[in-house]
Amino acid sequence: MPRRRRPQRERPLLVHLTTVDLSLAYLLLPQLIAFREAGYDVVGVSAPGPHVATLEANGIRHVPLTRSTRAADLRADIATAREFWSICRRLRPDIVHTHNPKPGVYGRILARLAGVPVVVNTVHGLYALPTDPLPKRVVVYTLERIAAAFSHAELLQNVEDRATLRSLRIPAPKLHVLGNGVDLSRFDPTALAGERAAVRAELGLGDDEVAIGLVGRLVAEKGYREVFAAASTLAATHPQARFVVVGPADPDKADAITRAELDTAEAAGVRLLGMREDVERLYPAFDCYVLASYREGFPRSAMEAAAMGLPIVATDIRGCRQVVDDGVTGHLVPARDAAALTDAIARLVGDATARSDMGEAARAKALAEFDDRRQVAITLDTYRRLLPRGWMR
């Protein structure tokens, strides 16, 4: 297929591709703003939704993928891929940067076939783990190997994925450890300390109650069933424990937590706040944080909690191991083990001194390791290295 001449531009056009607009706004917005300020014309491409307004208010243009969905829907995925192909041919971007499992596959392949000069992918944690069933690993790793052949660079959030990708014969020079981070000026416990009393009053939390916070989509993969089991047990043994869950339902996912399960959790005293845009205001009201996921790349919510000086109980999996130092900044427990999770939460609920000491250590670790400006610098360096000579002055 003959390639059209690339348009003359003052700034290189950078497209970031995700499944839904929530990922662009919640996971990537500070980076997108930094890329714009560094001289790129930044466009977000995803399913349209309520977060598009936030993107556009921050100077990020949005182009909709009308059929894009998190759900397992092959016909919708094919239609989405065709739509993205049309977007590439129309916009003629200089860089396409892909995220999430499905866009990471079709996005890399189609962007390269459409003649995009630079194709970059962020690996937000491989969707299969070495302990997963063989059929799942074969499908995921095969797709990853094929798609990676079309990219110029693979940015790994988690160093543990490097060995797996090398075993798939993805060239080492293409792999770069990106890590992950958060805006430490936004998640600053000193600046937000005054919010604690007001938010706890809004949530009906007493001075002698211990608030256990969780932030994440309401799907089983995030470990909510084990968390709800822990809440039920602790209601009898540690009545001062109060669980507060922040996050939206995700009905498109096969493992979505059902309305009946949520009703049962609420009956056991769990507060469900739904989607919130002010999570930084909520963290000061918590006394500890829980992330009971089965799979993570490098969990942002846990980094936010650490930055806010909260001790963390998390599962002993890739990603969580990079955020939590077991016995120092919190506790690591086996995934899918409700009893171990309950015990670890109970220890923190019953020990204010441990909560304080681990929280201080978590904040120190966040300051040393979780500054998102490092990810911006690595990504910008990747773009500059791969763009044709002379593009960026």
| 47 Cβ neighbours under 8 A, 6+ residues apart | 19, 20, 21, 64, 65, 66, 67, 68, 69
CATH topology of domain 13-180+372-386: Rossmann fold (3.40.50)
Q: By C-alpha distance, which of 76, 103, 78, 128 is closest to 297?
A: 128
Domain range annotation of the chain: 13-180+372-386, 189-369
pLDDT per residue as tens digits for the range 208-247: 999 999 999 999 999 999 999 999 999 999 999 999 999 9
In Å, what is the CA distance from 59 to each residue of 43, 52, 248, 309? Answer: 9, 11, 26, 32
User: Phi, psi at residue 240, to the nearest 5°?
Assistant: -80, -10
Contact partners, residue 222, CB within 8 Å, separation at least 6: 216, 247, 291, 292, 293, 294
User: Distance from CA of residue 353 to its chain's centroid?
Assistant: 30
Q: Same fold for the domain at 13-180+372-386 and the one at 189-369?
A: yes
pTM attached to this predicted model: 0.85
Residue with structure tokens 């001449």? 5
Residues of the chain with pLDDT under 70: 1-7, 390-393
CATH topology of domain 189-369: Rossmann fold (3.40.50)
- Supply the pLDDT for residue 1: 44
Question: What is the tens place of the pLDDT at every residue in 58-91?
Answer: 999 999 999 999 888 899 999 999 999 999 999 9
223 token code pair: 């470990």
